[in-house]
Structure 1
Amino acid sequence: MKIMIADDHQVVRKGLVFFFQSQADIEVVEEAGDGLEILEKLGKYKADVVLLDIQMPNMDGVETAKKMRTHYPEVKIIMLTSFSDYDTVIPAVQAGANGYQLKDIEPDRLADVIRRVHKGETMIDSKAASQLMTHVTGANQKEEQKRLEELTLREKDVLKQIMKGHSNKEIARNLFITEKTVKTHLSNIFSKLEVHDRTQAALFGVKYVKEEK
């Protein structure tokens, strides 16, 4: 798996590069100090996953993610940042980030997140999601809780699996159902919760669903 790293702090970039050298299946093909530079390098080199810092000079991570979604839709995006506030998380998710992780993450955990995002999963740091949900108004909470009540018990089980970052195949195995049935449940969940994708469903779940340990 080929990855690129964009962060304006050279120490952070070098530290990540050094760590990933110990991972046999992850290769850092390029690094950059801002969004413009990473977009330029994506035009020259192939990458499967890009780690983006949020705050960078010339072009920040959110704007970079938007342009990547337009020009390089096949590349997975993981925001790796120090910020977990509402005004940072929401724009990042809306820009198309497949993952949102804080820089205090353990290196081995980050490597696992990259692998899972590469496979198509969405990985949102729980602290970022929890901080995000504290900004929801009471009125919105009542409306959204009403939507949640429309889910069947099995659909809630599937939602909990989404919150854990599981793929359709893993959900099918864990709940002893077929992948086709999982897709049907996902379609129903998206419709009832009025969300568009797994990321939004997972964020919704963090607000209201008690995840089993």
Structure 2
Amino acid sequence: MKILCWNTDDAVWAHWLKIVPAIAELVRVDSLEASRRALIESQQTFQYCFVYLADETFSSQVEEVVALKSEFLDHNMVVFPNQASQQAALRLFSIGVNGQCAPYIGEEQLSLVLSVIDSGEIWGGKAFIQQLISQSAEQINQPSVQMDGLSEREMDVARYIAEGLSNKQVATQMAITERTVKAHLTSIFKKTETRDRLALALKAKSHFLVQ
């Protein structure tokens, strides 16, 4: 497992070296351009991209991460912000960032994060994601895409996603397999012109609120 690490803090870097899985190979870079170059040259060999968001460059780096993720949509990207910012978190999750963690996350917790992301979920904690959805649903200024084209089952999936449920929880609620849930999500993303579950959750939340 190779992990690209955009990290300019020596203390955080030393911590990451201690907690990553033993099989992991970490490659350290210090800028957007270095990250982009490494991802282009890697030919898909990096399983994850970790980004430490430092205080002094926080706002500008958030936008750089947005640019990087937009260019490399298929790469799993996890951010480690050194400050709490719900606005930044919403910005990052909405463009497809896969997870957000504390810079000094523990070894067992990181293993859980990577497992969740590998299963196709977003890591941020259900309460955190639900808070983002609740506070942001009415702030979305994008033109609304009608959800009336969804089938009854797809509408049920969308409703559960808006409630913050994972694929496994949706499968349990609907008495179907996780594979079927993923198939429904693929269809829903296409029909609603969304590309990740957070964007879908926000759109679905707004849809159900006005019904």
Structure 2 gaps, min length 5: 141-146, 207-211
Q: Does the CA contact (< 8 Å) of 2:32 and 2:68 recur in 1?
A: no
Q: CA deviation at 1:177?
A: 1.4
User: Would the alpha carbon gap of residues 102 and 204 (structure 1) be closer, same or farther in structure 2, given more than 3 Å must change?
Assistant: farther
Deviations 1:167-210 (A, max 9, x none): 6xx74367431444664477569979x96531234567999xxx
Counterpart in the other structure of 2:68: 67
Q: Secondary structure at the match of 2:64?
A: helix
Q: CA deviation at 1:80?
A: 1.6
Answering whether residue 86 of structure 2 is matched by residue 86 of structure 1, we say yes
Q: Does the CA contact (< 8 Å) of 2:39 and 2:46 recur in 1?
A: yes
Structure 1 gaps, min length 5: 141-146, 208-213
Q: Does the CA contact (< 8 Å) of 2:86 and 2:132 recur in 1?
A: yes
Q: Distance in 1 between matches of 2:14 and 2:122?
A: 26
Counterpart in the other structure of 1:163: 164
Q: Secondary structure at the match of 1:163?
A: coil
C-alpha RMSD of matched pairs (Å) = 4.3
Q: CA deviation at 1:29?
A: 3.1
Q: How does the TM-score come out when normalised to structure 2?
A: 0.65
Q: Distance in 1 between matches of 2:90 and 2:19?
A: 29
**Percent identity between the aligned chains?**
14
| Residue 32 (structure 2) aligned to one of 35, 58, 69 | 35
Q: How does the TM-score come out when normalised to structure 1?
A: 0.64
Q: CA deviation at 1:109?
A: 1.6
User: Would the alpha carbon gap of residues 30 and 68 (structure 1) be closer, same or farther in structure 2, given more than 3 Å must change?
Assistant: same
Q: Secondary structure at the match of 1:5?
A: strand
Q: CA deviation at 1:97?
A: 0.7
Counterpart in the other structure of 1:199: 198
Deviations 1:147-170 (A, max 9, x none): 9xxx98992697269835436xx7
Q: CA deviation at 1:137?
A: 8.2
Q: Distance in 2 between matches of 1:160 and 1:6?
A: 31
Q: Does the CA contact (< 8 Å) of 1:159 and 1:205 recur in 2?
A: no
Q: CA deviation at 1:24?
A: 4.0
Higher RCO structure (Cα 8 Å, ≥6 apart): 2
Q: Distance in 1 between matches of 2:136 and 2:115?
A: 31
Q: CA deviation at 1:43?
A: 3.0
Q: CA deviation at 1:93?
A: 2.0
